Amino acid sequence: MSDVEIKRGLEGVVFTESELSYINGQEGKLYYLGIPIEELAEKSTYEEVAFLLLYRRLPTKKELEEFDQKLKENRAVRVEKIASFANYPKDAHPMAALRTAISELGLFDPKEEDTSYENLLETGISLIAKFPTVVAALKRLREGRLPLEPRNDLSHAGNFYYMLNGKEPSKEQEKLLDVALILHADHGMNASTFTALVIHSTASDLYSSIVGAIGALKGPRHGGANEQVLKMIQGIGDASQVPEWFKEKLEKKERIMGMGHRVYKAYDPRARILKRYAEEVAKAHGRTREYEILVAIEKEAEKYLAPKGIYPNVDFYSGVVYSDLGIPVEFFTPVFAVARIAGWVGHILEYTEKDNRLIRPRAKYSGELDKPYIPIEQRG
């Protein structure tokens, strides 16, 4: 294997085909099933996007109504499970709590080991419906409040907002959360999706695959980056301090959170959409300081980072949007998971149908061979 080229981080390695999402990193474009993300964010709903990712086509009106009804029927989580969530350590990271909660759901599912396509689909729909319920329950328990029962008279985003905050959202808030969920629903072969497929390829159960994906998304170099952006903003006094702060960051060669992406060498289209909503939030609800700081950082980045192909990514503006929706910073990544569960399940279904080959890469051996075993008495 001396002449084997190592692809660090599997960069550039293509191991399968997928119709679900396509990223044109050079031009800053994202598509779900060939439909531009801008079209879906403006005209679609999360329910429709979830159907699109699971069935790889847009639904008819009747199909969407039936799918929406199925999601509503699966929203509730058994009371004893919610009660067990209350025993989780209050200082545990919410993603660790979510990881454990989803594993618990699998533990009590009598069909957990059924890996047929039909059961994967049914369980996947159930998980898409239950993720908001679980995340909202974990948030409210952490705040010392009782979790709320899901409401079937509200949309997926509207119900999620209600369970998080205990009140119905305005039309603007409902649309804002719906758009955020759509933008995060899928994004090619990212780390968490790949993790889910690796686990699934071993013929393990769906819950194990999703728990693995949650673990990957938890990391600050993947889903956890959106938390770091808001913390970064909180460490800057106001927009006037950004030029000096930015220069100091560059001199120390420290990373600017929310800037740059492995795939995009142009402006992330999701960030462009969220920037517009972040501006609306700032004007309507007085979150101008955070927004002005982000705009100032982006202005400095245009001078120093854009020439290198480094632009804002989806995490850059999402924190301001989430914060305005009553979501505390530590729950930004669980909300990301509420969106991405549709993409994870969609990729698992697609891989099951198209390939289903065990993912088993190799590593180049770099050690010595035929070394003698030295008895412990003779070791220095």
Q: Indicate whether 319 pLDDT > 90.
A: no
CB neighbour class for 274 (10 Å; exposed up to 12, middle 13-18, buried from 19): buried
- For the cut 80, the answer to whether the pLDDT of residue 2 exceeds it is no
Contact 81, 92 (CB under 8 A): no
- Decide: pTM greater than 0.85: yes
CB atoms within 10 A of CB 327: 22
* Domain spans in the chain, listed from the N-terminal domain onward: 17-222+328-354, 225-324
Tokens for 111, please give them: 């069909």
Which entry of 156, 184, 261, 347 is annotated as an active-site residue?
Answer: 261
Q: Does pLDDT of 287 surpass 70?
A: no
Establish whether 222 is a catalytic residue: yes
Convert the pLDDT of each residue in 238-255 to its tens digit.
Answer: 899 999 999 999 999 998
Based on the residue annotation, tell me whether 187 is a catalytic residue of this protein: no
Q: What is the CATH architecture assignment of 225-324?
A: Orthogonal Bundle (1.10)
Is residue 177 within 8 A of residue 325, CB to CB? The reply is yes
How far is it, in rounded angstroms, from Cα 373 to Cα 324? 63
Cβ-Cβ contacts under 8 Å for 60 (sequence gap 6 or more): none
pLDDT digits (tens, 9 = 90+) for 188-234: 999 999 999 999 999 999 999 999 999 999 998 888 777 888 889 88
Catalytic residue, chosen from 93, 109, 114, 222, is 222
261 assigned to active site? yes
- CATH code, 17-222+328-354: 1.10.580.10
pLDDT (average), residues 275-297 = 87
Catalytic residue among 178, 186, 315, 324: 315
State residue 1's pLDDT score: 61
- Whether residue 179 has pLDDT greater than 70: yes
> Per-residue DSSP letters for 132-162?
HHHHHHHHHHHTT-------TTS-HHHHHHH
